[in-house]
Chain A
Amino acid sequence: MKRFLLKTLCILPALPALSLAAEPSQRPDLALLRKEAQAIDAHIANSLRRRQLAAPKDADDATFLRRSFLVATGRIPTFEESRAFLEINDPDKRAMLVGYLLNSPGHASHMSNWAFDLLRLTDGRVDTSATNEPYREWVREAMDQNMPWDQFTNALLASSGDGWDPQSAAVGYYTRDRGMPLDNISNTMRIFLGKRMECAQCHDDPFGTTERMDFYQLAAFTHGQEPIRRNHMAPLWRELEQGREAQGESYRLARVLWERVYGMSLQDGGEGRIQLPSDYQYRDARPGDWVGGRTPFGRTVRSSDKKSANDGRKQLADWVTRRAGDPFPAVIANRLWQRVMGTGIYEPVDEYRSPDKTHAAELLRHLSELMVRLQYDMRAFQHTLMLTRTFGFETNPEPSKIHGADDFHGRKIKRLTAEQVWDSLITLANGNPDLQPRRTADPRILVDGRPVLVGKKTMSELSREVLALESESQVREYFQRLLNEVRSGSSSSSNAPAMSMMAANRPLHRPGASDLVRASELPSPAPRGHLLYLFGQSDREVVEAASLEPNVSQVLSLLNGFVQKRLVNSPDAHLYKSLEGAANDTDRVRQLCIAILSRPPDETELPWMLQEIRDRGEEGYRNLVSALILSSEFLFLP
């Protein structure tokens, strides 16, 4: 009977992979992950025993379901997904659910939001037409492919080359911060190694051990982040810039080359040495002195102060991922623990603490080792955590008893992130949002926002050609030819089929702010005024700047805004469609409650919910939908 029910459910299109049978073989073995999960549970059990605390009970199915969806895919389940899970009677269904979710496209979308916050990934840049979109697409693809964290880190930190080439688009990690390489290296240390060095940018850190010299020795590795061969264009650019008004069209086209081609490229591999700033204030060196690279901890890597090494970024990347020691695996392990379990083993997660200085030394060491054993497979690591009993503990409404750390004593309640709120609302409006294609970077050549040479040349082709030019005269010649092509092509391109040239690529998919697609596919960050902004989406100017703080505008948007317009009052909303098969009011009310809160109403709720329908008829349903979404239960992750 049980097997039969499972089989039936697997036919439901919404849950194609609930049968784990079809797991591709290269994925880590489930049995192994289970064993690892048990080892983690043993650590937690020890910790609770030491503190003479009883192990929390297991959360009920509905809570587990909602939690798992929100944690793994960043959205609530659809009615169909909830029903399937709640009605199956299989002892292994929780593990099956977790496997299904982590291998769904929703997981990659959810991880992309996380990566965008971490990397401060905005689409545009201030005061330049250069864009981060190819870089964004690179990160998005890496999340889709579940690129191991060490490879991901390495690819970013050692990047070099053409910003439009998908192979090297990771250069956006540096070009995003063009002109502020010192902030960039501070962020690198914070993101990947949990070291805060921004103070030492200007002075010895009075509270820590980092000296300003240490900072510069580290910055030496990434010094020299010039665009590729832009000097060949500099004379032409200066001429055109001075005559900005007179040479309108050629200036605008030159700007594409200067900012969007050269400006997004990264030359060479990093000098490995740097000059001390003019306000260098300590006795160990003078301002203007060259210093070579030297890494501050772990296995030391050095580079010469005498000549450019030209592989500084590669050396840095290698040090961070292979020689910096425990911080590299420990920081990502704790970041992912926080993501899955709700609270970091220690917090803030971007200030590394050696295991001995935490209340969970053994567990932390164990998790670092596990991260290495799993070869930095982030999905497998999260899978392991979600298979633990600890993940399935009942909710504990009390804040953690241990200051700035997880006390492991039941899951702590937390408001959904802006992205989780949005992705859940669009699920109610449109059903499973992961059936839609991913956002693409705009491959067209845009001159002041207007596409040119459509069907003839893409931005990546242009970039490849321009970056290959080897002298000033070649640049001038190329530019003149390009200008002629644009001038002669501008009339004919207007009636060329808009995107026919995209054949080699995926079709152009660029949702706007009002489209009901995943937060990860909207402009980054969403425009101010968007529901994502109101609920505290990071502006992606500083690392992990998202906010969970409540404010009155959020409540207004739930009461009268987006929710009323796109859901409550929209007969086409997916959530009403799920009612079509229901036999009577009781069924309909039950289904609405499951669709929105992932659980049926209990015996005290059902009568007054039904009363509402009796009192107000059709409008009663709308009132009920509105109230369910307004409820704290909707907004908080249990």
Chain B
Amino acid sequence: MNQPFLRADEITRRHFITNAARTYLGVHLLPMLGASLAGAAPTGAAAAAKAKHVIYLFMAGGMSHLDTFDPKPKRKTVMGPTETIPTSSDDIQIGHYLSHTAKVMDECCVINSMNSKQGAHEQGSYIMHTSYNMLGTIRHPSLGSWVLKLGGRLHPELPGFVAVNTSPELTGGGFFGAKYAAAPIGNPEEGLQDCRRPAEVAEEDFARRLALADKLNRRFHERYPNTDVGSYEELYQEATRLMHSKDLAAFDLSQESQATRNLYGKGRFAQGCLLARRLVQHGVRFVEVQLGGWDTHYDNFTGVAGRCREFDQAFAALITDLKKTGKLADTLVVVATEFGRTPEIKSEHSDGRDHHPGAFSCLLAGAGIKGGMRYGETDATGNKVRKDPVSVQDFNATIAHALGLPHDLVLMSPSKRPFRMADTGKPILNVFA
């Protein structure tokens, strides 16, 4: 088997040493990590890092940057009916659909200079989640899996990576395997389904079932030694550890006061944000929550208004609530999307906007990120990036940096190819306070 791959976990503890050595001495203590590290940017992040958790909010479909976080108030032709409103930060103006969000912008850093070359949903969301282009021959691990792999989990029993309402393709463990895949949650109100032993099954019988299955599996595995099969068997241990956890209440939204629930608002995304807050409080490392429907080719302004209704109150509540509970200090909140939308408004599609990977906006907040700041700039119509371009890989490297994880550490896939959490991206150090 592939040693470097298998041993990645053991070396995570040691990677800080490696990083320090690389930064200060310019040498690698672990030669197996590969020579390709030579040119990588110095990380030196471990000491500065404040984030322990990530809440990653993914706006699936391509969020219009112009109508949300990169409005161009002087250009009526670009803005259509969208108006611009001031926020709690003098430097930031946003679209009028986001009145709650406006109040917490002093906690957020808007990155207006995101850009990529991937103008199709599948490829765009894939690269955002993995830092790599989609290939037919390999599945890359998603961000949450990288964070687990490099940083380890914080709670011994709860899943390290939870995905609420996401597409399974984007939250898989890729070549790291099932241990690093997200535990999916379809409906936040229901929490993690089936995580308790049914009342009618005695503890003894439950143990017997697992023992019997194990016997069957051993036979099957002998006959068909196969890694995919093996990864399921590992999951049984994972599942039973989880079932015995005292912290299962982390998944139970009914334990929140009605006032808190109302603060976030109704809907799957809103309650997903609340669940994310509960989960990080209980020690879950990485929570992704998806809000779909941003693909506003047709009637963009009605579409954006609808999406913002789902997003606005929930996001503001999340920031406020995290701050109140003290968790904003060590939780990085990310708002990401696969691309922006065209400045051009297509009247033949009832005022729609098409895909626009050339320029789009993402958001960072919490965990040592400078609030009330804009980074990067697009031109007068939001068409192209004019200043401080940020690639998808840079963005992901910044997430890694906030967590103190070595975004440039090379890990080998089972097919013996080298991969890094942020490929060749470099963190944007200016966004850190």
Contact = CB atoms under 8 A, between A and B. Distances in A.
B196 interface: yes
A557 B120 contact: no
A626 interface: yes
Interface in B81-127: 117, 119-123
Interface in A169-211: 178-180, 182-183, 186, 198-199, 201-203
B226 interface: yes
A269 B187 CA distance: 42
Given A557-B194, A627-B212, A533 B349 contact: no
Contacts of B225: 397
Interface in A467-495: none
A541 interface: yes
A636 interface: yes
A279 B358 CA distance: 11
A198 B123 contact: yes
Given A127-B302, A199-B119, A556-B192, A550 B216 contact: no
A182 B236 contact: no
A551 B205 contact: no
A528 B165 contact: yes
A144 to B, nearest CB: 29
Contacts of B119: 198-199, 201-202
Given A551-B181, A551-B184, A555-B235, A413 B209 contact: no
Nearest to A557: B194
Contacts of B239: 552, 555-556, 559
A179 B224 contact: no
Contacts of B190: 529
B40 interface: no
Contact of A529 (B168, B193, B201, B297): B193
Contacts of B232: 415, 550, 555, 632, 635
B257 interface: no
A557 B194 CA distance: 6
B213 to A, nearest CB: 4
A627 B181 CA distance: 24
Interface residues of B, number: 83
Given A199-B119, A623-B209, A557 B193 contact: yes
Contact of B344 (A278, A631, A632): A278
Interface string A560-581: 1110110001000000000000
A235 interface: no
A245 interface: no
Interface in A578-628: 604-605, 608-609, 612, 616, 619, 622-624, 626-628
Interface in A528-561: 528-530, 533-534, 536, 539, 541-543, 545, 547-557, 559-561
Contacts of A556: 192-195, 239, 242-243
Given A127-B299, A127-B306, A179-B349, A547 B185 contact: no
Contacts of A325: none
Contacts of B352: 179
A511 interface: no
Counting chain A CB atoms within 10 Å of each CB, the highest count among B120, B215, B243 belongs to B120
Contacts, number: 224
B194 A397 contact: no
Interface string B147-187: 00000000000010000010111001100001001111111
Contacts of B187: 527-529
A414 B306 CA distance: 41
B254 interface: no
A523 B167 CA distance: 17
A559 B209 CA distance: 9
B281 interface: no
B292 interface: yes
B235 A552 contact: yes
A404 B209 contact: no
Given A528-B165, A549-B181, A632-B220, A403 B229 contact: no
Interface in A389-405: 395, 397-398, 403-404
Contacts of B220: 631-633, 636
Interface in B214-268: 215-217, 219-221, 223-226, 228-229, 231-233, 235-236, 238-239, 242-243, 268
Interface of A: 126-127, 178-180, 182-183, 186, 198-199, 201-203, 277-279, 347-348, 351, 395, 397-398, 403-404, 413-415, 527-530, 533-534, 536, 539, 541-543, 545, 547-557, 559-562, 564-565, 569, 604-605, 608-609, 612, 616, 619, 622-624, 626-628, 630-633, 635-636, 638
Given A201-B120, A559-B194, 14 more contacts: A179-B349, A529-B186, A536-B168, A545-B169, A549-B172, A551-B182, A551-B235, A560-B243, A569-B198, A605-B215, A612-B212, A619-B202, A619-B205, A636-B228
The 5 closest A-B pairs by CB, nearest first: A179-B298, A529-B186, A528-B186, A561-B194, A627-B212
11 contacts: A178-B298, A179-B298, A198-B123, A202-B357, A279-B383, A529-B187, A552-B242, A559-B209, A627-B209, A631-B220, A633-B217
